[in-house]
Structure 1
Amino acid sequence: MDRRIKLALFGTAAAFIIIIIAVVSILIDKFKPSNEIMQLTDYYKVGDSEVLVILQDHVYEKKGLLLDGKVYLDLDTVVNEFNHRFYWDYNENILTYTTPDEILQAEAERSEYSVTKSMIKTKVASDYPIVKVFVDQVYLSIDFVQKYSDMNYQYYENPSRVVIDYKWGDYLYTEASKPTQLRTEASIKSPILVQLPADTELMYVDMEETPVKGFSKVMTKDGVIGYVRNKFIKESAYKTLTSSFQAPEYTSQTRPGKINMVFHQVFNTDATANLEKLVKATKSVNVISPTWFRVNDVSGTIDSIATKEYVEKANDLGLEVWALVNDVDIEINMYELLSHTSRRETLSNALIEAAMEYKLNGINVDFEKIPSDAGIHYIQFLRELSVKCRNNGIVLSVDSYVPSEYTKYYDREEQGKIVDYVVVMAYDEHYAGSEIAGPVASIGFVKDAVRNILTMVPKNKVLIAIPFYTRLWKETSDGKVTSESFPMTPIEELLQSNGVEATWNEEAGCYYAEFEKDNATYRVWQEEDKSIEEKMKVIYDADVAGIASWKLGLEKESIWNVIVRYMN
């Protein structure tokens, strides 16, 4: 064979071999897993005093702090994720946490906190500062939070991170079937985060994400989240995460029978004189709530017209006395009052001291002028007051508007946990100042009030308040609408004197009348025996704890024959 041909064939073969080697090398490189290692400190980047927070199965958006070897979490995270009862006073820099029978308070940076039972405050030493404050950022010790919250945590170093379990239930797990790697991405070319020995337990995360072929996204016990090849893990199985945390029980001082409470509006200390006459006209009433206390100013002091003679007379008549405190008759900035810890304490102590001095059975809180930005402070006041009431055997009831979107900051669900009775004021559907005339409490309004409150508060804590009054509405020719409140008997006499006969309005669940006089139209949606009975049917069917009535002395005596039929 010609030498040149031989050389050409040899060269072609050599080139072919080189190409094959190159292709094989490329293929080997393509399918060969990367051995590159990424340090966890580069993967989870945290500052010198920071702690990465891993909530259950995901990296949280906010970092904690590591201060003097202790982990601290920001207040918003604690409140929103773990325990909404931690309360921070930005005015006085005081943290408060309220259990059913204790009020715990800690100031920033101090290694101590106080505990109040009844009205006695005791200092308790702590091994660490409970609260740290940096300008307007508040951080709480995770150890202190854990004592009162349904959560567990584990801290790990390099990098600093805390893994927190707080959502209990079934989670999908697997194990490494042989030694393998946890990688940063769903690719064998991505860096290795952790070398996984055989039988390493792994929890699946982000199951809702579109799976990557051949890989699963998992998390190790110490909170490292990455990807593992499916060929190197075992069959998955659900594991139930449980908690041994025992939540404190908010015991209630509810009564075994139905409550029939009447509000008694009084204006001076002479109310005892007429009490027996008013009460003897009633039937089945077992609680009376005199309007004795009024918030005096933003400092938390109260005005009082209470008397021991009244309590003694009421008790002799078989009545418990749940004295009312209100914010209605005076212009007070309730935000300024309730957002200061010292002022809330002054107010709650004043009420407890009065209850003990006059031997009251209960306190009724009737705060109707709470602005939306004071909602959380109002609820905190009720928590603190409930502790003192519970520890002193005083029933705590709270008057509340009917549930609505614009009053949800009254947080009736929390009220239902911490107080003894929630009194729903199922009246003033149309109130003084309303631009449209209408009933005080239509049957639909009452039905909605009952139905909605029972989604928030246990029925054995619900009292539905009904009206003993009616409004006479006046509309003039220029369209101006005004109203005047009338007791039951006087409104009947007014209609009779004007030659008007009311007719039953099925939709409103009450009698309706209208007449013309002095170039004005007058309208009345009348509250009387039948309208009250329609309300009592709804209340009876709901099997709530009872009723309250506004107010004693406005009713016809025959009303009590209606009410008593539905109180057993």
Structure 2
Amino acid sequence: MTVALAATAALSQLHADARVVDRPQLPLVIGAIPYWDRSAALTSMRTYARYIDVASPWSYSVSADGTPTVAEGTSPDADSELGTHSGDSSIRTIPTITNTTDGRWDRETIAKVLLDPALRRAHVEALTGLVEEYGFDGVQIDYENLSAADRDSFSTFVRELGDALHRIDRVLYVAVHAKPNDTGYGPHNEAQDYAAIAAGADRVIVMAYDRHWATSTAGPIAPYDWVEEVIRYAVTRIPREKLVLGVGLYGYDWVGSAATPLTWAEVMSVAEVHRSPMHWDETSLSTHFTYVVDGITHEVWFENARSVEAKSALARRHGLASIALWRLGGEDPSIWRLGP
């Protein structure tokens, strides 16, 4: 059915939402802060700090010797003060470490680090040193697009890093690809042994989005039935008290099988410019619309407060520990009004 969503009215909700004082009955909320849109993310964090339990700056990658590198324009010193600058010192800071090089997923570099016991040990020591030096509450590992051949070394790394962090009273979070069974959709899924990862980590974040992605055909980013299928498998391998549902807050604008990622505000702007009526899909519980430019049809699917509420309800219904928002700064501001 068609949903009456006026872009101007929705955008005006931002200031009204900032006045909401009651904390919604959601699980623990983890908010990602991407280095390439840090200003917008920090603005969102400051505005809605009372709803956020953990800030996770997405600013760190791994060099060939296992030491962490920091994205340009960010610094551990600045990250260590996130909670204070948000006005809520109770917000914990758990930076995310990724296997990216020049903005692209880099399987080769991290695979060598994980496979070599000496490099792996140096990597663990470097990460625990980062945590101790800057007073972080732990780290979150997000190593993506690994191969099935990396499965054992990745599990070993998680166990060793978890042990090292626990010795200094810190925590380990690990982000994993979503899958409905162990083999999932390819080598990147086979690389991640949910049960072994859960044994070493304090939280396991299942990134339940990108069912349709930037180079796929158009469709819902996180269809409800698929997300539930992913959760039903995950709880057979990961204790519910450790399991975190990763929730996307963005959209894609497809032309054929090539898509441009959009923030919620960008989606609203596109819809307003092209006067596109929006439609709610009752199966996927997602919103979508189409528009035409120069005879070329665009198809947009995106996440908004209504679809996020459905996923949050799933997390509560399955007794999960938390939700992790990807990402702050690009969300529909109405998500912060969600109730029990």
Query: What is the TM-score of this pair, normalised by structure 1?
Result: 0.50
2:203 to 392, 411, 421: 421
* Number of the residue aligned with 2:11: none
Q: Pairwise mapping of residues 417-566 of structure 1 onto structure 2 (< 5 A)?
A: 417-434=199-216, 436-475=217-256, 481-562=257-338, 565-566=339-340
Match of 2:63 in 1: 296
1:543 to partner: Cα distance? 1.3
C-alpha displacement of 1:393? 1.0
1:531 shift after superposition: 1.1
Counterpart amino acid of residue 303 in structure 1:
T
1:285 pairs with 2:24 = no
Residue 421 of structure 1, CA deviation: 0.2
| Contact 1:469–1:487 (8 Å) recurs in 2 | yes
Q: Contact 1:362–1:396 (CA<8 Å) still a contact in 2? A: yes
Aligned length: 298
Verify the 8 A CA contact 1:439 1:471 in the aligned structure 2. no
Question: How many Å separate the matches in 2 of 1:485 and 1:463?
Answer: 24
Q: 2:135 aligns to what?
A: 359
Offset, 1:452? 1.1
Higher relative contact order (CA 8 A, sep 6+): 2
TM-score (normalised: structure 2): 0.83
Residue in 1 that maps onto 2:21? none
SS of structure 2 residue aligned to 1:410: coil
Give SS of 1:438's match: coil
SS of the equivalent of 1:430 reads coil
Residue of structure 1 in register with 2:146 after alignment: 370
Give identity over the alignment, percent.
Answer: 22
> Partners in 2 of 1:379 and 1:259 — Cα distance?
25
- Name the aligned partner's letter for residue 285 of structure 1: I
1:309 CA drift (Å)? 3.8
C-alpha distance in structure 2 between counterparts of 1:528 and 1:498, whole Å: 19
Q: Deviations over 1:128-177 (max 9, x none)?
A: xxxxxxxxxxxxxxxxxxxxxxxxxxxxxxxxxxxxxxxxxxxxxxxxxx
The superposition leaves residues 392-431 of structure 1 with CA deviations (integer Å, 9 ceiling, x where unpaired) of 1111000001124231331001111111000000101111
Q: Secondary structure at the match of 1:465?
A: strand
Which structure 2 residues correspond to residues 18-417 of structure 1 after superposition, within 5 A?
258-267=27-36, 277-282=43-48, 283-297=50-64, 299-304=65-70, 305-315=74-84, 316-317=87-88, 318-328=90-100, 329-330=103-104, 331-333=106-108, 334-403=110-179, 404=181, 405=183, 406=186, 407-417=189-199
Shift of 1:558: 1.4
What's the secondary structure of 1:558's corresponding residue?
A: helix
What's the secondary structure of 1:376's corresponding residue? helix
Does the CA-based 8 Å contact 2:246-2:323 persist in structure 1?
yes
1:387 to partner: Cα distance: 0.8
Deviations 1:309-359 (A, max 9, x none): 432241452210011100133535133221100110111111110100110
**Which amino acid letter does the alignment assign opposite residue 327 of structure 1?**
N
Whole-angstrom CA distance in 2 between matches of 1:377 and 1:341: 9
CA distance in 1, matches of 2:114, 2:46: 39
Q: Out of 313-322 and 438-447, give the one that drifted further.
A: 313-322
Maintained 8 Å contact 2:175/2:204: yes
User: Which amino acid letter does the alignment assign opposite residue 195 of structure 2?
Assistant: E
Distance 1:444 1:378 in 2: 29
More strand by share: 1
**Do the aligned residues in 2 keep the contact of 1:281 with 1:557 (CA within 8 Å)?**
no
Structure 2 SS opposite 1:489: helix
Which one-letter code corresponds to 1:294 in the other structure? S
- In the alignment, structure 1 segments of 5+ residues that lack a partner are 1-256, 476-480
More helix by share: 2
Secondary structure of the residue aligned to 1:525 is strand
Structure 2 residue aligned with 1:9: none
1:386 Cα deviation after fit: 0.8
Asked whether the 8 Å contact 1:314–1:320 carries over to 2, the reply is yes
Gaps of 5+ in 2: 1-25
Q: Which secondary structure does the structure 1 equivalent of 2:80 belong to?
A: helix
Deviation at 1:267, TM superposition (A): 4.5
Q: Which amino acid aligns with 1:370?
A: L
- Cα pair distance change 1:493/1:314, threshold 3 Å: same
Q: SS at the partner of 2:94? A: strand
Please say which structure displays the higher CA radius of gyration: 1
Q: Which moved more, 1:425-434 or 1:355-364?
A: 425-434
Detail structure 1 runs of 4+ shifted over 6 Å in the superposition.
none
